[in-house]
Structure 1
Amino acid sequence: MSEGTHEAALYFWAIGDMHYRAMPAWHEVHEQRLQLMFVDLRALWQEEGEPAFCAAPGDLVETCAPANYELARTCLTRELGDIPFYPGVGNHEFHGPDGEDPATMLETFHHFWQQPPRYSWQVGGITCIMLDYPDPHMLQDPAYVYVSRETLAFLDETLMASRGKPAAIFFHAPLRNTVLDRDPHVGRDYNSMQNFFSPENSQAVRDILARHDRTCLFLSGHTHTGWEAPGLVKSEQLGQNTVTFINLMSPWYTGNQGAVRIDKELQTVTYVPDEPDVVVSFAFQIRGEEVLIRAREHHSRRWLKEWRVSIR
């Protein structure tokens, strides 16, 4: 067990966009990538002890087809065993390129995960809040994303009800001006300065975080950000709080020059790696007035970096 793990008020793991898809050619490549992560995690958890839970804030599936959910649930149940798993809604949970009915998309999410789109839970004296990504079909322009009034109210009310407790918030997209591009002249990464990749009303979220004591973590994915991008882990002073924003990257692919290429017949998937080609997820230990954040690279089975941030 690593130093301090047994003293942690809360030890949990968070994983970025996984994009399960029940297409044989896709799954063949995808499973190879994610197995690097899960094999390493199981070995690591035998050494350090199991986390209290794992969370993934959205884009667990590539499209909202029930077959993709079934595959994701089957694989994650097998890999995580008895570790509680908390999923979130991302833009791909609303992605229905094969004619899926938009009216049933959130019903499918609830059916497979047995969770509403937004919810909260308490563990180890910590409040955890999973916020929902907005349905693009309900936006005036899907390229301009807004956190809904209902979701803002839920965040405000949940933080008010758990006043005095440290809070970790999960939302699919980063807030504006957090994680940035590794090379904006080339455009290596989707990032929080772009429309669609961060909410237009990010300031409204910040205003809520500033009103509530001990809000300490804001975890997001969405951008598939590459390693060492500026602002990958970034702390801000909001009111009396030091809030640390973490972009969880993606164990599937990173960078917007990478990703996958699929032939027209949907029979061949070609994987184009980013540089560096990493498979990363994040561990969190909250103890006392400090949070230890660690980035784990699963291909090499080593820790890439750690950050220690305060809870104020």
Structure 2
Amino acid sequence: MARLNTTLRTVALGLTLIAGTACAREPSGALPKLKLDPSRVAVVGLSSGAYMATQAQLAYPDVFPNAAIVAGGPYGCAGGKLDVALSTCMKGTPAPDVAALVASARKRAAAGEIGPLAELARAHVYLLHGDSDGVVAPAVAEAGAHFYQQLRDGTPALARMQVVDDGSRHFGHNLPVADKGDDCDKSASPYLGHCGFDAAGEIFRQMFGQPAGQPDGAHGKLLSFDQDALRPGGKDAFLASTGYVYVPPACAAGKPCGLVVALHGCKQNADAIGRAFVDDAGFNRWADVYGVAVLYPQTRASFAPLNPQACWDWWGYSGTDYDTRGAVQLRWLVDAVRAMGLPAKQ
């Protein structure tokens, strides 16, 4: 989502879109079939990926019981309008109307447009943002936390839902990593801030509890897979041809396995930054410790529909149903998780 406002308006003025080609095409196979534990599935996202993660959890709470939202706002914020996405949902001017968004979510759940809210009864939701974020205003990220809190507090069936709001750390519009550097308060490619804070480790702890040990590197296998093979009903989901999945040794050996679906932000896809997010965000090291595979879907940039920064769809470029159970990108995510072995609901 970094610099989305400026870039979209530039494209709208008729300048030529030049899509990045930093990552060469790699041979791709099928997703591995694992012994997935449905209670240990989480969707994690940064920026546009954060908005997408919220949409995935609300639309399919039975598939995504756990979610980590990094620098994202409340579900339904854009309302299918790009101008609202750029103003209310990024800059917080005007501020998101959280009560109205909660009421809308309840109405949409009752109509079957998103999943039954009762499915969130045992959900773990972790919301992380930095106080120096100049792309998605801290107030917008706080509105995202308030959305979940109001949804929980106003629904007796959700009394046990866990919502953690972690918004007091100092970093910019990025995913903090354990190493230290001079880019912590910036929003610069590849949007991994060297802050001395291991956000990936904290996300795993919030999603799956205390670790049994500490990581000593990544010892599993990183595989590429054919994303086009999962197009729902053959429909274009506006994704790249190749995605990635990290499989820890325990999962490869057939042991019960969790799954994190890690959604990159705008301009953070492999065509733009290579495998920096896949290799360096820190998820793979912790995946070995927890016995959790990590799925890294990849979007693609396009001029038509207008998505020059390869963002996940959180304002409607893929269709008016972009944040419902009928959304093509959400259906793709669900199909991918099921292809990896998610058991059918009993």
TM-score by length of 2: 0.35
Kindly indicate which of the two structures has a greater share of residues assigned to strand: 1
Kindly indicate which of the two structures has a greater share of residues assigned to helix: 2
Task: Pick 1 or 2: higher relative contact order, CA cutoff 8 A, min separation 6.
Answer: 2
